[in-house]
A and B are shown apart, each in its own frame.
Chain A
Amino acid sequence: MLQILKHFLFALLVVHSALGQNKYTISGTIKDAKTGETMIGVTVRVKELPNTGTICNEYGFYSLTLPQGNYTLAASLIGYDTKETQVVLTSNQKLDFQILETTALLAEVVVKATSDNDKITNPTMGVEKLSIKEINNIPALMGERDPLKIMQLLPGIKSAGEGNSGFNVRGGNADQNLILLDEAPVYNASHLLGFFSTFNADAIKDLSIYKGGMPAQYGGRLSSVLDVKMNDGNNQDYHVGGGIGLISSRLSIEGPLQKDKSSFLITGRRTYADAFLKLSSDPDINQNTLYFYDLNAKMNYTFSDKNRLYLSGYFGRDKFGLGDLFGINWGNATGTLRWNHLFNEKLFSNTSLIYSNYDYSVSIANGSNEFNLSSSIKDFNLKQEFSYFPNPKNAMRFGVNFIHHTLSPRNRIANAPNSSVNNTSEPNRTALENAAFFSNKWQPSSQFSMEYGLRMTSFLTLDSTQSQTHYFNVEPRLSVAYIASPSLSVKGSYTRNVQNLHLLTNSNASSPTDRWLMSTAHIKPEIADQVSFGIFKNLHNNAYELSTEVYYKTMKNQIDYKDGADLTYNDQIESQLLFGQGRAYGIEFLVRKNNGKLTGWVGYTLSRTEKQIDGINQGQWYAAKQDRTHDLSVVGVYKLSSKWTFSGTWVYNTGNAVTFPTGKYRIDDAVVFQYSERNGYRMPDYHRLDLGATLKFNKRKHFDSDLSFGIYNAYGRANPWAINFEENGDTTEVQRVSLFKYVPYITYNFKF
């Protein structure tokens, strides 16, 4: 660690000495020429100086410091035409790029990567990126294009269950993923028990997921970071887009507020399939309500070359009602206000004020026992971050982050005057989570690059109802790449992550009433250490990307429940918890084809995830629920013509670890099942084929439209979603519940 600090200081010194020489900085913003959207991850190369270049940050800003001279700068990104500009560098200067989306047929269906061989040269490992174009072509359950479900097709990322947008990364629990929408954490990223995610593909620009080797600016969760960036909105022309599907419709409007300077984007989505329930004559069905909607909105304003302001928000809500017997509604709201400021050509600053809220409310009517339950988690977050580009060999990031958490525990309020239920009002729990971080991407030679960083986090409980607890943790992050050739590299990384907010869930499906808890004197912060190594190889001029990564992760202070824990109707939740450790290891393979008529990937993971918790299985190591030995995904998109695109995905995985009965006995004349150990059995293997097609209609004036259709689970595999054990006369039987077989979809999309 001391070495790294020394290097960091040295790098700062280099900066100062560099100022004395004839070196100048060229910097600017990279935008999409058609929409004016700032681009993410565009490579800027200096043609005259091989191995010299940089990648623009998430706000499209880049900075390069070079000796005086004449240069050709090329900005390139897969899916876009490379733009070259001649520069005579005799002073610091500003150079913006506007790059144009490639319209040639073959390149149209590309899988976006940050640059042709960025995966080889970038020291960061364990990171996967997806573009929205890619998502749009892949078949989807009920036609609801869901970025989170596409993510699950990548190695190391596993679906939490059939049709579920929840995911497990490298053996982590679903709550150990930091899910960010424009920097705001989304506490419950699922609609309707996870069958749909909160991410409306229409509103999203870019997604990255870090499975390991997280850069130091990210923290707070153990297993992964999913960084989702919303579209800024077109600052050139007005556009309206939308889609009509079987269970939902979408609409989006975007355009300039002031051409070139500012833009807005509003997208909305609403499911309406429950409208069909009203047609039923059965009063038990036609009184039910069940729907969700969500709204994404974003605005940005460019004040000057040096200042830009963004305001973005998300609001979503699910509602479910069973006549007047039972009702529940839940949802997230997030808001982000960001200010980009350019101090000078080398120093870029971003200040963010972030709000996030998740809450739910349940009303139960049962005779006289009418009551409401409600709970929420709310964050205010201030983040100040600097990007500093001292020279082409170093790119630094440093900053601070202050988060104020308020957790309102589940409070029960009787909602009838004669209700026999007593009210509770537990006081709110509050805490301050502060962090300071720095990292540097250092490329000392063309063979060697590394990113090192440190994140320091402090968690302090504030409320007076519990003894004040303070935890301080240091999280080192290190990734090193040895670049053997422009198409081959070997990388290694070490990452520590700390988590102070913990989700209690007792089932596979994400439940709206899952409870968040904070670290307390009793609940210690979860800590994970991960080591990984990888080999990255590109073939055929970067048309094929091959990679393999091995990882080993240990997790401390993991939380599980006592056998038979009652979480739903229990006020003393902490008494139901047990603590222990976890470990996960595995190897991942990915082959990706990015160009040509046929694109897609094959991903395979061989892995193991285990837990050891005193009080479960006699304290022995046992397979975690999400432990799946084999996990294989094949994704193919075939562009037949400018009209027709076909796609298919096939997935196979070992069944989850589950607890099944081994025997039975009789109590009160009823059969009761006897269990021997937790997670001692496996669900049957899971496999499924999905097929899809997109037909693009001829463009009429400015009106663009297409029809997507396909089938989910095309060969009708009865994948068990649940297995039940039932008493049936004088025997017992095993019942398999499978949800989706031959599920067709059709969606009409338009844009003008």
Chain B
Amino acid sequence: METHNFRTPLKFPITSMKSPNTLILNSLLLVFSLVSLTSCVDTIQLDLREVEPQLVIEGKITNTPSENEVIITTSVDFQLKNEFPPITTADVSLTDQTTGESEKLIQTSAGVYAITALKGIEGHTYALKVAYNGQIYSATSTMPQQVNFEELTYEEGPRRPQNNSQTRMVAIFKDPASTENFYRWITYGNGIQSRTVFVRSDAFTNGNSIRQSINSDIDIAANDAITVEMQCISKEAYEYFNTLMRLQGDGVNQGTTPTNPPSNIVGGALGYFSAHTSQKQTVVIKP
């Protein structure tokens, strides 16, 4: 079963620090397509093996009252629908190792276990423990010191084909020189969260005042109120999301060798546990 979609233009996955190969290739294909019938994208069926469902743990504790929860689901075969069965019978507990306080998490909806008693505090280390089906899964994460999100602005630039707009959101902040810092940005437009993962480390920019333009798949138009969340994340969380970021957009066999992101969860589950800070700012795009 093949559905042909001849001469569909290739996706133009330009992000500012995309691999040079992808950028060159896109232009090259454009050139080739001028002299011949080239490049076609179609949907095919592949015979992918079935796998045992694996536990997926997504744990977050922040220095704000929202997004403090642990979501537990399982993976499914590639061919199935994007419905991921929640795990409703896990025993989940969280410990603030800095103070020694513990909390047993209560399930508030199917597979979602809320953190209510413990508060996320910069510099504190948190330990997550999940018991399910006779297995123990555990992870720790230390919340980094928050770097002040000074200002959210935007600028016009070359069009980003993945979101069809020329406007780029820009976060302004001063990176502290004394520490290694890792950042994650999430863009929200009209209540929708960007699916594009975008993280940076300060490896190239340590100690500088930074104007960071942010990639997202949100269409940005005049009069939109755009919110950007800046998270200061741990090194482990950065490595997890950096791997995800590099896997998005590139074709298999061309970019990074695909792999599961390195998880900080011990015991064989997919996912991550992250203690991070969160700051949000909103601007309205002027017409």
Which residues of A are interface residues toward B (Cβ below 8 A)?
A: 142, 192-193, 195, 246-247, 273-274, 276-277, 284-285, 288, 290, 320, 322-323, 325-326, 328, 362, 364, 366-369, 371, 412, 420-422, 506-509, 511-513, 561, 563-566, 568-569, 571, 656, 658-676, 678, 681, 683, 718, 720-725, 727, 729-744
Q: Which residues of A contact B43 (CB under 8 A)?
A: 733-736
Please name the residue on chain A nearest to B251 by beta carbon: A722
> Count the B residues whose beta carbon is within 8 Å of the partner chain — how many?
89
Convert B195-234 into 0s and 1s, putting 1 for each residue whose CB lies closer than 8 angstroms to a CB of A. Answer: 1010000011111111111000000000000000000000
Please name the residue on chain B nearest to A731 by beta carbon: B81
Please name the residue on chain A nearest to B7 by beta carbon: A741
Partner of B39, one of A276, A509, A739: A739
Please report the C-alpha to C-alpha distance between residue A724 and residue B76 in the assembled complex, in whole angstroms: 18
Convert B26-46 into 0s and 1s, putting 1 for each residue whose CB lies closer than 8 angstroms to a CB of A. Answer: 011111101111111111111
- Which of B44, B77, B257 has its CB near the most chain A CB atoms (within 10 A)? B257
Partner of B30, one of A195, A277, A369: A277
B21 touches A663 (CB 8 A): no
Q: Which residues of A contact B244 (CB under 8 A)?
A: 667, 672
A724 touches B204 (CB 8 A): no
Q: Which residues of A contact B29 (CB under 8 A)?
A: 739
Please report the C-alpha to C-alpha distance between residue A193 and residue B203 in the assembled complex, in whole angstroms: 28
Q: Which of B15-72 touch A at CB < 8 Å?
A: 16-17, 19-21, 23-25, 27-32, 34-46, 48-51, 53-54, 56, 58
Q: Which residues of B contact A725 (CB under 8 A)?
A: 78, 252
Please name the residue on chain A nearest to B35 by beta carbon: A246
A506 touches B46 (CB 8 A): no
Please report the C-alpha to C-alpha distance between residue A523 and residue B46 in the assembled complex, in whole angstroms: 39
Q: Which residues of B contact A276 (CB under 8 A)?
A: 31, 34-35
**B262 at interface by CB-CB < 8 Å:** yes
Please report the C-alpha to C-alpha distance between residue A371 and residue B206 in the assembled complex, in whole angstroms: 15
Q: Which residues of A contact B157 (CB under 8 A)?
A: 325
A659 touches B252 (CB 8 A): yes
Please report the C-alpha to C-alpha distance between residue A499 and residue B209 in the assembled complex, in whole angstroms: 44
CB distance from A463 to the nearest CB of B (A): 23
A507 touches B16 (CB 8 A): no
Contacts A670-B195, A738-B39 hold; do A362 and B259 have CB atoms under 8 A apart? no
CB distance from B29 to the nearest CB of A (A): 7
Convert B222-265 into 0s and 1s, putting 1 for each residue whose CB lies closer than 8 angstroms to a CB of A. Answer: 00000000000000000000111011000111111111111000
- Which of A563, A659, A683, A742 has its CB near the most chain B CB atoms (within 10 A)? A563
**B74 at interface by CB-CB < 8 Å:** yes
Please provide the 7 A-B residue pairs with the shortest distance between their CB atoms, ordered closest to farther.
A722-B251, A366-B16, A563-B259, A665-B75, A367-B213, A368-B211, A420-B208
CB distance from B85 to the nearest CB of A (A): 10
Please report the C-alpha to C-alpha distance between residue A563 and residue B256 in the assembled complex, in whole angstroms: 9
A509 touches B25 (CB 8 A): yes
Partner of B205, one of A369, A571, A656: A369
Contacts A247-B31, A369-B205, A511-B19 hold; do A663 and B76 have CB atoms under 8 A apart? yes
**B168 at interface by CB-CB < 8 Å:** yes
Q: Which residues of A contact B31 (CB under 8 A)?
A: 247, 273-274, 276-277, 290
Please report the C-alpha to C-alpha distance between residue A412 and residue B261 in the assembled complex, in whole angstroms: 27
CB distance from A564 to the nearest CB of B (A): 4
Please name the residue on chain B nearest to A733 by beta carbon: B43
Q: Which residues of B contact A730 (CB under 8 A)?
A: 81-83
Please name the residue on chain B nearest to A655 by beta carbon: B253
Contacts A506-B255, A664-B76, A673-B78 hold; do A422 and B205 have CB atoms under 8 A apart? yes
B246 touches A566 (CB 8 A): yes
Q: Which residues of A contact B23 (CB under 8 A)?
A: 320, 322, 326
B24 touches A328 (CB 8 A): yes
Please name the residue on chain A nearest to B73 by beta carbon: A666
**B170 at interface by CB-CB < 8 Å:** yes
CB distance from A410 to the nearest CB of B (A): 12
Which residues of B are interface residues toward A (Cβ below 8 A)?
A: 10, 14, 16-17, 19-21, 23-25, 27-32, 34-46, 48-51, 53-54, 56, 58, 73-78, 81-84, 155, 157-159, 161, 168, 170, 175, 193, 195, 197, 203-213, 242-244, 246-247, 251-262, 270-272
B158 touches A564 (CB 8 A): no
B44 touches A736 (CB 8 A): yes
B38 touches A740 (CB 8 A): yes
Please name the residue on chain A nearest to B175 by beta carbon: A420
CB distance from A199 to the nearest CB of B (A): 19
23 CB < 8 A contacts A-B: A193-B28, A195-B28, A322-B23, A366-B213, A367-B168, A369-B211, A412-B204, A506-B256, A507-B254, A563-B259, A564-B260, A565-B257, A667-B272, A668-B58, A674-B75, A681-B46, A725-B78, A732-B78, A735-B42, A737-B39, A738-B40, A742-B36, A743-B38
Partner of B259, one of A273, A659, A662, A724: A659
A739 touches B38 (CB 8 A): yes
Q: Which residues of A contact B161 (CB under 8 A)?
A: 284
Q: Which residues of B contact A195 (CB under 8 A)?
A: 28
Please report the C-alpha to C-alpha distance between residue A563 and residue B44 in the assembled complex, in whole angstroms: 27
Please report the C-alpha to C-alpha distance between residue A508 and residue B247 in the assembled complex, in whole angstroms: 16
Please report the C-alpha to C-alpha distance between residue A323 and residue B23 in the assembled complex, in whole angstroms: 12
CB distance from B137 to the nearest CB of A (A): 14
B75 touches A512 (CB 8 A): no
A736 touches B42 (CB 8 A): yes
Q: Which residues of A contact B37 (CB under 8 A)?
A: 741-743
B21 touches A718 (CB 8 A): no
Please report the C-alpha to C-alpha distance between residue A222 and residue B157 in the assembled complex, in whole angstroms: 47
CB distance from A559 to the nearest CB of B (A): 13
Please name the residue on chain A nearest to B40 by beta carbon: A738
Please name the residue on chain A nearest to B186 by beta carbon: A668
Q: Which residues of B contact A665 (CB under 8 A)?
A: 54, 56, 73-76, 84, 270-271
B24 touches A367 (CB 8 A): no
Partner of A737, one of B19, B27, B251: B251
Partner of B260, one of A142, A568, A670, A674: A674
B56 touches A666 (CB 8 A): yes
- A676-B51, A678-B259 are known; give 11 further A-B pairs, CB within 8 A: A322-B27, A325-B157, A326-B16, A420-B208, A421-B204, A509-B21, A561-B257, A658-B253, A672-B261, A734-B44, A738-B41
CB distance from A174 to the nearest CB of B (A): 14
Please report the C-alpha to C-alpha distance between residue A721 and residue B38 in the assembled complex, in whole angstroms: 12
Contacts A195-B28, A277-B30, A420-B205 hold; do A564 and B58 have CB atoms under 8 A apart? no
A659 touches B258 (CB 8 A): yes
Contacts A195-B28, A742-B36 hold; do A369 and B212 have CB atoms under 8 A apart? yes
Contacts A273-B34, A277-B31, A664-B82 hold; do A564 and B75 have CB atoms under 8 A apart? no
Q: Which residues of B contact A737 (CB under 8 A)?
A: 10, 39-41, 251
Please report the C-alpha to C-alpha distance between residue A192 and residue B188 in the assembled complex, in whole angstroms: 38
A367 touches B204 (CB 8 A): no
Q: Which residues of B contact A412 (CB under 8 A)?
A: 204
Please report the C-alpha to C-alpha distance between residue A65 and residue B259 in the assembled complex, in whole angstroms: 64
Please name the residue on chain A nearest to B245 by beta carbon: A566
- Which of A323, A420, A565, A722 has its CB near the most chain B CB atoms (within 10 A)? A420
Contacts A290-B27, A671-B82, A730-B82 hold; do A678 and B168 have CB atoms under 8 A apart? no
CB distance from A504 to the nearest CB of B (A): 12
B35 touches A663 (CB 8 A): no
CB distance from A615 to the nearest CB of B (A): 12
Q: Which residues of B contact A732 (CB under 8 A)?
A: 78, 82
Please report the C-alpha to C-alpha distance between residue A91 and residue B208 in the assembled complex, in whole angstroms: 82
Q: Which residues of B contact A667 (CB under 8 A)?
A: 56, 58, 244, 271-272
Q: Which residues of A contact B48 (CB under 8 A)?
A: 660-662, 681
